Amino acid sequence: MDETVQVFKALSEEIRLRVLALLMNGELCVCDLMAVLDLPQSTVSRHLAYLRNAGWVAGRRQGLWMYYRISEKMTPLHADLMNILDKRLSELDQVQADRHRYMEYQKNKKADRCD
C-alpha cells in the first residue's frame, strides 16, 4: 500500500506534473527543465528526486548534469496512470505553454548539451 500512496503523492504537485509532461517527449537535462519551468536547480532537482523515488523517472549523469526520462521499469499502475496523464495533461493550458516554451528554448539553445 505504501508504494501505491507514493505513486499518487508524486502526482500531487503541479511542478511534478509539468515535469512529467515535458519528459513524455523524451529525455531532458535538468538545465532544460530549469529554463522551461523558470525554476532554480534546487527546486527542479528536488521534484525530480521525488518522481525518481516514486518510480516515475530515471536519471543518468553526463558530465556535471543529470538527464532524466520517463522510467522504462514501470509497474502496471504507473503504466495505466501514464496513459491517462499522456492524454489529459496535453489538454492543459500550462502544459501547452511549457511545450511551446521548450520548443522556443531549443531553437535558441547554443549547443546540444548543457554547459
Grid cell in block for residue 68: 532524466
Q: What is the pLDDT of residue 111?
A: 61
Q: Where are the domains of the chain?
A: 2-96
The overall average pLDDT reported for the chain is 92
pLDDT at 76 over 80: yes
What is the percent of the chain with per-residue pLDDT over 70, rounded to a whole number?
A: 95
Over the stretch 14-67, which tens digit does the pLDDT of each residue have? Answer: 999 999 999 999 999 999 999 999 999 999 999 999 999 999 999 999 988 899
CATH number given to 2-96: 1.10.10.10
Where on the phi/psi map is residue 58: left (φ > 0), alpha (ψ -120 to 50), or beta?
Answer: beta
